[in-house]
Amino acid sequence: MDTLLHLTGVSKRYPGVTALDNVDFTLRSGEVHALLGVNGAGKSTLVKIICGAEPPDSGTMKLQNETIQVNDTADAMRHGIVVVYQERTLIPHFTVAENILLGMEPTNGQLIRRRALNQQAEQLLKRLGVDLDLNTEILDLGAGQQQLVDIVRALRTEPRVMVLDEPTAALSQGETKHLFELLKQFKNQGIGIIFVSHRLDEVFEISDSLTILRDGRVVSSGPISEYTPARVTQEIVGRNVGKLETDHKTTSGPLLLETQELASEAFTGVNLKIASGEVVGLAGVVGAGRTELLETLVGFRRALTGKIMLKGKQVQIKSPAHAIRHGIVLVPDKRIEKGLLNRMNVLENLTVSSLKRYSNGLGWLQQKKLTDVATRTIDQLHIAAPSLSTSVQSLSGGNKQKVVFGKWLAWSEDVKDLIFMFDEPTEGVDVGARADMWVIIRNLAAQGAAVLVTSSDLDELMEISDRLYVMRRGKIVSEGARQNYTHDTVLQLMMGV
């Protein structure tokens, strides 16, 4: 395969951080090249330089042996370079069609030709094999559907180089399969694809080669055939990462949370039980109602009918603040949108849920204790931040997610009888932190908390759960001990086959 994109000696520095240090990178025509590394390793910075969102401090970039200078994202698109970021870039109140063709709308003078716009958008959707209502507003779509719209939008210019940043993070297995089929078509057309992912099974399924970054440097690069998952993991984190013991022994305590025939616009007849000391997994495809169920349990959404019982007593959860007073917290799927104080620093974000606990009778904050809690949480989750005073906006996407996760770990020293809910807890998180988070979730249960986890990663649910519930089309279709299920049986229940 011919060299399509070649970067030589690329470096980039920010205050207090060397994001990239003399990086070489080669992408060939018709290949999928995986770009791997822990959060903060330099992947996002390299992607931003390739697509013109950030200028390099030094280094050169060649496209088909011609030296180019990419000044901005529009310039990158003119060169045939497009990127789909992990964080959504869609306009919530615009329709699917309007978002897909944003900036490229067919017009008649100053008027948008609506029929032509819908026809062009429909053609692009069909290429991906996606069935979406063109007139639906983005805010009414689930996370997986929004991701698909973002990917379709990138295809409109028929690019030579496509960068996909965690493209499958919010996709169901069926949607991921559709995407991979399309990527194979693009490979046959000679398009080079940079595939940024933490899901090693997908990396080995779709990639032809890989490059691993650590601390801003390339530590390994070559054909995928020369690697094993174990070697890649060790190269990524610089150490051996052990597997969580799946035969964890759990002694469940009293029932903490129960729903009886709970229903909303997204689900119906949900009967759920979670006891102290156990991790309960909630499986289902995108759109099954999992996220909506969690949001109802913490007051983001209102239940239409049914009961929520805490320690045997019926309660009305009217808001997230009300849920917190009852000892229930949710770490949401859209953590960067819902869980960060973007104008504040790392310390303030990590301790915002703990201010009441670390203030004296007069309302004065105990700053040293807050600093100690934040420092401990950073070490626990391996958050890559130059200092506690670093703006949370300057962190990579994965590290932002860790900050939101850590905020609730710092919430209470005694977690017994508290209820923690995690929606896609390791989405976009590197393999080292992924194992750390699994251990933390299990430790919460070991200390007497009740934990409810929903994840699109079945291996993750099988790894950490004591019991499983499976949702399909807004209903619980199966429930039982984790050891009674296999990966295949859960998938069949999710898909209704």
Residue 414: band (very low, low, confident or very high) from pLDDT cuts 50, 70, 90: confident
Instruction: Look at residue 130 and tell me whether its pLDDT is greater than 70.
Output: yes
Report the pLDDT averaged over residues 192-206: 90
Share of the chain above pLDDT 90, in %: 47
295-308 per-position pLDDT tens digit = 999 999 999 999 99
Instruction: Look at residue 132 and tell me whether its pLDDT is greater than 80.
Output: yes
Report the pLDDT averaged over residues 175-195: 88
Residue 94: band (very low, low, confident or very high) from pLDDT cuts 50, 70, 90: very high
Residue 428: band (very low, low, confident or very high) from pLDDT cuts 50, 70, 90: low
Q: With contact defined as beta carbons under 8 Å apart, do 121 and 99 qualify?
A: no
**pLDDT score recorded for residue 247:** 52
Residue 249: band (very low, low, confident or very high) from pLDDT cuts 50, 70, 90: low
Report the pLDDT averaged over residues 334-344: 75
Burial code of 199-225, b = ≥16 C-beta within 10 A, e = fewer? bbebbbebbbbbbbbbbbebebbeebe
Which of the residue ranges 169-173, 276-280, 328-332, 468-472 would you say has the lowest mean pLDDT? 169-173
**pLDDT score recorded for residue 380:** 78
Instruction: Look at residue 486 and tell me whether its pLDDT is greater than 90.
Output: no
Instruction: Look at residue 250 and tell me whether its pLDDT is greater than 80.
Output: no
Report the pLDDT averaged over residues 56-68: 95
Task: Map out the domains of the chain with their CATH numbers.
Answer: 3-237 (3.40.50.300), 255-495 (3.40.50.300)
Report the pLDDT averaged over residues 133-158: 85
**pLDDT score recorded for residue 331:** 85
Residue 494: band (very low, low, confident or very high) from pLDDT cuts 50, 70, 90: confident
Which of the residue ranges 352-361, 401-410, 438-447, 466-475 would you say has the lowest mean pLDDT? 352-361
Please indicate whether residue 439 or residue 172 has the higher confidence score (pLDDT). Answer: 439
Instruction: Look at residue 243 and tell me whether its pLDDT is greater than 60.
Output: no
Instruction: Look at residue 97 and tell me whether its pLDDT is greater than 70.
Output: yes
Average of per-residue pLDDT values in the chain: 87
Residue 253: band (very low, low, confident or very high) from pLDDT cuts 50, 70, 90: confident
**pLDDT score recorded for residue 119:** 92
Residue 246: band (very low, low, confident or very high) from pLDDT cuts 50, 70, 90: very low
101-121 per-position pLDDT tens digit = 998 888 888 888 889 999 999
Report the pLDDT averaged over residues 268-284: 95
